[in-house]
Structure 1
């Protein structure tokens, strides 16, 4: 598949974005695993590969299915990294089997592992080496400081910094999702609880994330020396037919020879999904596209609403209406699964919507 950025308008107008971690549970995608051969075979293939080469015969998938303590699961970085990776790659393979391939992709935080593999940039061995190294770094941090607090707020980063950063100096912006959605991080429980109280009194949404790692914040500087032992990942020729254009989550640029993957920057730097989404919208518009479909590769919607917010703030003259249903907007935002819906029914509905609004199978 040739995904040259200049040919966006000639391709299926589809963008895949891969969510980050802290989204798994014991029966995650179980119905799909039982009911879809392609998804199941991919899950088993990756699970077996990890089991044999990294986990001394232990299956991470079996570990997930037998789990009962969700808090403990989210503390196990090897489990969270492995399960998210195998799910996202397997969902990619399922959609690929339906001839649904994206023009470009990007991963959020841990989701970058799957995006690097699905893009064609890394082999399975290379990405699994990186996956385990990333999990090891997160585990190292957790052992040094198990008191991190990641949390989500319905407020833009600029607005938070303007109104609250002086008062709550230990609370950091760690991911910019849109001008009204931000991921924050801290190791200061007192300041978090003060902000939580203030936000709730003012009816501002705030929610703690089920993890104890303050992703993409200065707290992770303590593992920089460990991380710097891992070399940058060089990128193949970005014009290669085997490469899907892939955005770097922390600088918003396309990965290429001048912009390699750096493991420390990927876990330390602030994620900027807002700028990436704006850039994608702009490039499709400049290349004459009239419709755009975003698909979140996630077991449950995490950032689907982010697309709505970023379409509104992009000031595009073309991409102005958004929908998650089967109407006829020029931007559609979908999530591959939803924990509240039957897996098979949900993914079949998503596939049908994508095919209806593209030239696939026409």
Structure 2
């Protein structure tokens, strides 16, 4: 809800949000903005798959085009994590708006069926090796659902098991935080809706901006890495690979003789930061040409106010003009 501060205080951004909100209203049957303003229970909002899918999409898409309009810069590569991959697909013109609506609605309906699983996920200060060696033997039904960095990951599974796991981490003073309750995103349990997902049919085309899959770490195209129903299932059942995606982007930059890389996250809640990239991801990557000094991260405090967004815009313009 804090993200609405930007919506309420910038007429340009508000007009974009309202445009997409009205379009999605004809698909979902309600206004995302109105529901966000009127619903007092944040937990209920987060568990509502129709709302979270629709609201995240219109916010991220509006923010993307807002930045392009203000900075006059178009990124070389974009990618989205989990639900954000649909926003990235639309912004790159990999899929049409109508197709995005179709996927959003059906994905949210199908994921709503998994709420009965009573799943949960927890962000931890554990890397893959630590989890597999020290905790998986005790919790064989838990699995990594997101590789965040060389020092952190998100673990998913049954809520009852996650709570036991959380207790062990807390007893050892290991940082952790429950980040989702209800569904079983990015786990093997998504197989319960596999047949339904593979009945979906939609079209895609060659994107105008390179967009990388957060699942297989390849650029989407219209031949051998299609954005189709099979990929949609892979997106839901496989872990998010934030760490590996950044590593692949850095490799692409070096292979194409980039001397600098600018990272700009567009999300209502910041997931990356300069410190995070430089301390948690860069050390896991082998560089030939790039260095810590040539990787620039736009300050990514949560984008909820005009000062933050204007600072980000000014920094992006300055860096792209002077590097």
Q: Do Structure 1 and Structure 2 share a fold, with TM-score over 0.5?
A: yes
Match of 2:310 in 1: 348
More RCO (CA 8 Å, sep 6+): 1
Question: What CA distance in whole angstroms lies between the structure 2 residues aligned with 1:97 and 1:119?
Answer: 15
**Aligned 8 A contact 1:299 1:336 in 2:** no
**Aligned 8 A contact 1:336 1:347 in 2:** no
**Aligned 8 A contact 1:235 1:255 in 2:** no
Aligned counterpart in structure 1 of residue 286 of structure 2, from 304, 312, 315: 315
Cα RMSD for the two superposed structures: 1.9
**Aligned 8 A contact 2:78 2:210 in 1:** yes
**Aligned 8 A contact 1:119 1:245 in 2:** yes
Q: How far 1:59 sits from its partner (Å)?
A: 1.1
Question: What CA distance in whole angstroms lies between the structure 2 residues aligned with 1:89 and 1:234?
Answer: 20
Residue 204 in 1 paired to residue 174 in 2? Answer: yes
Match of 1:192 in 2: 162
**Aligned 8 A contact 2:298 2:315 in 1:** no
TM-score (norm 1): 0.82
**Aligned 8 A contact 2:159 2:181 in 1:** no
Question: What CA distance in whole angstroms lies between the structure 2 residues aligned with 1:253 and 1:317?
Answer: 21
Q: Deviations over 1:278-319 (max 9, x none)?
A: 111111122222211111111121233552321121122443
Question: What CA distance in whole angstroms lies between the structure 1 residues aligned with 2:4 and 2:251?
Answer: 38
Match of 2:296 in 1: 332
Match of 1:287 in 2: 256
Three-state SS of the structure 2 residue aligned to 1:296 is: coil
Residue 176 in 1 paired to residue 147 in 2? Answer: yes
Question: What CA distance in whole angstroms lies between the structure 2 residues aligned with 1:173 and 1:300?
Answer: 21
TM-score (norm 2): 0.92
Q: How far 1:188 sits from its partner (Å)?
A: 5.0
**Aligned 8 A contact 1:106 1:248 in 2:** yes
Three-state SS of the structure 2 residue aligned to 1:68 is: coil
Q: Deviations over 1:230-274 (max 9, x none)?
A: 13x554235xxxx11111111111111211222211111112122
> What count of residue pairs does the alignment treat as equivalent?
316
Question: What CA distance in whole angstroms lies between the structure 2 residues aligned with 1:212 and 1:199?
Answer: 21
Match of 1:29 in 2: 3
Match of 1:110 in 2: 83
Question: What CA distance in whole angstroms lies between the structure 1 residues aligned with 2:188 and 2:259?
Answer: 41
Q: How far 1:201 sits from its partner (Å)?
A: 2.1
Three-state SS of the structure 2 residue aligned to 1:302 is: coil
Question: What CA distance in whole angstroms lies between the structure 2 residues aligned with 1:102 and 1:352?
Answer: 15
Higher normalized helix content (fraction of residues): 2
Structure 2, unmatched stretches of 5+, are none
